[in-house]
Amino acid sequence: MKLKALILLILVALMTAPVAVAADPEPTVLTNKEAIDLVQTHANYLWSLVAAALVFFMQAGFAMVEAGFTRAKNSINIMMKNLMDFSIGSIAFWAIGFGLMFGASSTGWFGTTGFFLSDFTPDGDPWVLAFWMFQVVFAATAATIVSGAMAERTKFTGYILYSIVVSGLIYPVFGSWAWGSLLNGSGWLEGFGFIDFAGSTVVHSVGGWAALAGAIVLGPRLGKYTKDGKIKPIMGHNIPLAALGVFILWLGWFGFNPGSTTTADTSIAMIFVNTNLAAAAGAVLAMIVSWMKFGKPEVGMSLNGALAGLVGITAGCANVSPTSAIIIGAAAGVIVVFSVMFFDKIKVDDPVGAVSVHGVCGAWGTLAAGIFNIGGTSAGIIGVQLMGVAACFLWTFPAALVMFKLIDKTIGLRVSPEEELEGLDYAEHGGIAYPDFGVSTHGGISSISGPPSSGIPSYVGSASPATQS
């Protein structure tokens, strides 16, 4: 009995005695901050990569716009160029472009490190990968802008060479001037306080001025201008396809502009709103102006107006008010109509209006970012914006002009007249986009083309100077 009582006493003592239990430490201010920072970091990665995916989807929009506003016999060629812009451009940007744009720089002119993504190591900061992914879709956008302006008459081999050079050299060098400090660089232009949040100049004007150089070197399409200088419309084969492409581009811009924060925070709300309002205002004003000039609300100009508004707001989307965004977009919608008419008048054949939408309206948007700066403006701010616009043109246009002339003198840039009449789909790729329809001269089938000029402005019912791409 005594033994049983002793055992029972010991058990009770053990059960009631304080027991050291391993438990999570009480949260502190420091640990709470670490947890919050980790969540924010993950959100930043997620938002940046989702935005990158939206911008990538813009390639589909560009392809649809270009194909819809050009002739059916060149549709395969359009798709191949857009495919290679992203595919070959990705490799060129990985190998050379990214390092030139964001590598360490002691001069502010271009980076000298980070080639072949060497800044990333398995045990290093994975943000380099996320940032590269977001930037490569921007490089592809700049490259593919040129495709539309050079449509229907460009050798595929010559275009591939162009795509390598613009993605690996021309775009990254100017990008380093304006955005280098976003990673490891330090651009001379951003040192002056240059405002171009998402790339009205860095992306769009670079593409637009390169497009201008390409269109000049190529010359106009056969039959575009008569001997007496009149403009003949060359009809696009699928306006609904082009319109769908514009809607896709509009959607992609919600990644293009808000995604440029690379941060998942409340600032993206105003950027979303500004982006949408500018596009809407651009479409409305372009429709009104075309209606007044041509007697009908012209579809190509209206679609281009939406894109012009989007390009115009890209520089200042984070630093202007929604009201200012409407003004910027509306002005872009007016500018694009007259710009398209101007380039057609001087016989620069731009089948989709890329030079006007991206080059001219990109310059306007960059200037507007300074004029309507929500924090206030000044002559100094506007002067810096003008300097950035000028620097972009003075680098991009001559560089692209020399590049296209070299390509033309070596491997050739333009297809033969016979190939152009036949259509690039068959001549360059051995295929027909619509085999069930008569869209190619191959085999004796006549090509679908626009009606002869009858005094109606070439922009009416025509894709000729219509939409960008």
What would the pLDDT profile of 307-356 be if each residue is shown by its tens digit? 999 999 999 999 999 999 999 999 999 999 999 999 999 999 999 999 99
The average pLDDT across 50-59 equals: 98
Mean pLDDT along residues 425-429: 95
Assigned domain for 65 exists:
yes
Residue 92 belongs to a domain: yes
Q: Report the alpha-carbon distance of residue 164 to residue 174 in Å, rounded.
A: 16
pLDDT score of 27: 76
- Cα 202 from chain centroid? 10
Secondary element (H or E) of residue 334:
helix 322-345
- Of all residues in the chain, the percent with pLDDT exceeding 90 is 82
Answer yes or no: is 302 within a domain.
yes
**pLDDT band with cut points at 50, 70 and 90 for residue 227:** confident
Once rounded to an integer, what is the mean pLDDT over residues 267-285? 98
Q: Which of 222-226, 241-245, 246-250 has the lowest mean pLDDT?
A: 222-226
Domain for residue 103, yes or no?
A: yes
If DSSP codes are grouped into helix, strand and coil, which group holds residue 40? helix
Domain tally, the chain:
1
> Could you tell me if residue 423 is left (phi over 0), alpha (psi between -120 and 50 degrees) or otherwise beta?
left
pLDDT for the residue 460: 40
Which candidate, 303, 301, 326, places its Cα nearest to that of 316?
Answer: 326
Which are the contacts of 141, defined by CB distance < 8 A and separation ≥ 6? 55, 58, 59, 62, 203, 207, 256
What is the phi/psi pair of residue 154, to 5°? Answer: -105, 135
Question: Is residue 300, in this structure, part of any structural domain at all?
Answer: yes
Distances (CA, A) of 65 to 307, 360, 451, 468: 11, 19, 21, 7
Instruction: Give the structural domain span for 121.
Output: 40-435
Q: pLDDT of 3-28, one tens digit each?
A: 666 666 665 555 555 554 455 677 77
Q: How confident is the model at residue 32 (pLDDT cuts 50, 70, 90)?
A: confident
CA–CA dist 357, 469 (Å, integer): 9
pLDDT value, residue 271: 98
pLDDT tens-digit map of 133-187 = 999 999 999 999 999 999 999 999 999 999 999 999 999 999 999 999 999 999 9
Predicted model pTM: 0.89
Residue 445 has pLDDT above 70, yes or no: no
Supply the pLDDT for residue 375.
93
| Band of pLDDT at residue 228, cut at 50, 70 and 90 | confident
| pLDDT mean over 24-44 | 85
Mean pLDDT for the stretch of residues 386-392: 98
* pLDDT range class, residue 461, cuts 50, 70, 90: very low
Other Cβ atoms closer than 10 A to 134: 22
What pLDDT is attached to residue 33? Answer: 87
pLDDT at residue 438, rounded to an integer: 58
pLDDT digits (tens, 9 = 90+) for 396-425: 999 999 999 999 999 999 999 999 999 999
Mean pLDDT, to the nearest integer, of 381-390?
98
81 belongs to a structural domain = yes
The 10s digit of each residue's pLDDT in 302-313 is 999 999 999 999
CATH number, residue 382: 1.10.3430.10
Q: By three-state DSSP, how is residue 402 classified?
A: helix
CA distances from 297 to 83, 139, 178 (A): 33, 34, 38
Please calculate the CA angle 18-19-21 and round it to the nearest 5 degrees: 140
Q: What is the pLDDT of residue 340?
A: 97
Q: Yes or no: say if 373 and 195 are a contact pair by the CB < 8 Å rule.
A: yes
Distance from C-alpha of 321 to C-alpha of 323, rounded to nearest angstrom: 5
pLDDT grade, residue 43 (50/70/90)?
very high
Position 331 scores a pLDDT of 98
Instruction: Of 36-40, 269-273, 326-330, give the lowest mean pLDDT range.
Output: 36-40
Predicted pLDDT at 26: 78
User: What's residue 8's pLDDT?
Assistant: 62
Quote the pLDDT of residue 2: 67
82-124 pLDDT, tens digit each: 999 999 999 999 999 999 999 999 899 999 999 999 999 888 8
Residue 442 lies in a domain: no
pLDDT > 50? residue 442: no
Quick one: pLDDT at residue 436? 79
Residue 461 in any domain: the answer is: no
Instruction: Read off the pLDDT of each residue in 439-463 and give the average, rounded to a whole number.
Output: 40
Closest CA to 242 of 420, 71, 447: 71
pLDDT at 465: 42
Question: What integer pLDDT is reported at residue 393 of this predicted model?
Answer: 98
